[in-house]
Amino acid sequence: MNYQTPRGTYDILPDEISRWHEAEALIREKCRLYRYHEIRTPYFESTSVFARKNDSSDMVNKEMYSFGSGDESYTLRPEGTAGVIRAFDQHKLYGSMEMPAKFYYMGPMFRHERPQKGRQRQFTQFGVEALGVRSPQLDAECIALGIDIVKALGIRSVKVCINTLGDDESRAAYRAALKEYFTPHINELCSDCHRRLEQNPLRILDCKVDAESPILKGAPRLSDYLNEASRQYFQEVLASLDALGIPYEVDDRLVRGLDYYTHTVFEVKSVRPDAGAQSTIFAGGRYDHLIEYFGGPEMSGIGFAIGMERLLSLAADEGHVFPDENTTDVYVIGIGNTASSVLPFAEQLRTAGFVTEGNLVGRSLKAQFKSADRSGAKYIAIMGEEEVQNGTVNLKKAGGEQVNVRLDQAIDILKQWEEGK
């Protein structure tokens, strides 16, 4: 029998969870400031939600966990955008919400890929989607939200890489140019690129196997096939980033891994020398046809996603100090036959807002003091049989002052200590 976590999954243990709580709380607060609203979609959807017609992405073709039930095929969600758009259309939110409709999500995603540092088969993703408006300024604001989150976790060593894929007309012209260019060389490229040539030749530019091939490096440039409207849109995006004081680097080979992107695409990367192959912190872009694909009106959207594991790892690498949620405010020590009094007093302390631990297992006084020390308790309450009989308790600051007070005064004294009075 195998009683270990499945390959590509992991446990988050109690001594690690506080960093997750802090990051999640910080993200929720930043989203509130930008007026993004949380949405929660199912962990699995109909396979057709993710496997759209003629999709060339590796995620769809290689990495999805799909399973059947009767005539239906379902898939564990490999990314968050498709489920959000499906919900937006299904519930006709385009008719009841002010545009742009702004959403964020946070939760587990699943991809069947080779586990490595920063990449698991079950991973946690945070993402945002702003739907219903095509605006260069909204593109810039979306990137600014991600930058704000990253900086709030102490991550400073980053750069913004950005590109445009242009509108439908520009993309069609560029696709045709790439297909003409790559066709004579296709046998020199990997087998996946054979499929990409027919489905979406732009994806060849994102090939990891042939990334250093002279063939890829000599491919036509997208910028040469942009029409004037696409050029103007991208220039307005860049001007908006300039106005926000966000530095960027235009990377005309950046195409992203999913097929639905149009116009703006971006990746925000760590420039730390030890970031390695997993340097991308968050990435995303604009999409013009995804909403109508699921039956909604012709509307545009933009979004990005952050892998939470990578975000937390980089924050730790850059020295961000996460709080410890496991510390104790008050440890109640019981001496003798006092368990029946320790328990209700501990409950009163918790009701008053103090994180409290109490001796309920009959340990020696020495063992209890050691336990109080390990718990990081700021205060110790000592209840012996005499104190119980007199209705009092000894309160002690860790390593300092000690007083004997009536039980009905204890909480007020502790609050005064907390306030530094």
Torsion of CA 203, 119, 143, 206, to 10 degrees: -10
Determine if residue 125 is labeled as part of a ligand binding site.
yes
Question: Which strands form 402-406's sheet, in the order they lie side by side?
Answer: 356-358, 330-334, 379-383, 392-397, 402-406
Angle value at C-alpha 10, between 206 and 284, nearest 5 degrees: 30
Residues with Cβ within 8 Å of residue 322, at least 6 apart in sequence: 18, 19, 22, 315, 316
Question: Distance between CA 193 and CA 208 in Å, rounded?
Answer: 10
Q: Is 14 exposed, middle or buried (0-12, 13-18, 19+ CB in 10 A)?
A: exposed
Q: Which two tokens stand for residue 158?
A: 């980053």
Outline where 63-219 has alpha helix (H). 81-90, 136-152, 168-182, 191-199, 214-217
* Type and span of the H or E element at 234: helix 228-244
Determine if residue 212 is labeled as part of a ligand binding site.
no
Determine if residue 232 is labeled as part of a ligand binding site.
no
**Amino acid letter, residue 66:** S
C-alpha distance from residue 65 to each of 51, 55, 192, 382 (Å): 12, 16, 20, 56
Determine if residue 81 is labeled as part of a ligand binding site.
yes
Q: Which two tokens stand for residue 133?
A: 């408006």
Outline where 63-135 has alpha helix (H). 81-90
Interhelix angle 136-152/228-244, rounded to 10 degrees, is 40
CB 122 within 8 A of CB 80: no
Determine if residue 310 is labeled as part of a ligand binding site.
no
Determine if residue 293 is labeled as part of a ligand binding site.
no
Determine if residue 256 is labeled as part of a ligand binding site.
yes
Determine if residue 338 is labeled as part of a ligand binding site.
no
Determine if residue 331 is labeled as part of a ligand binding site.
no
Enumerate the known binding-site residues. 79-81, 111, 125, 129, 256, 260-261
Enumerate the known binding-site residues for L-histidine. 79-81, 111, 125, 129, 256, 260-261
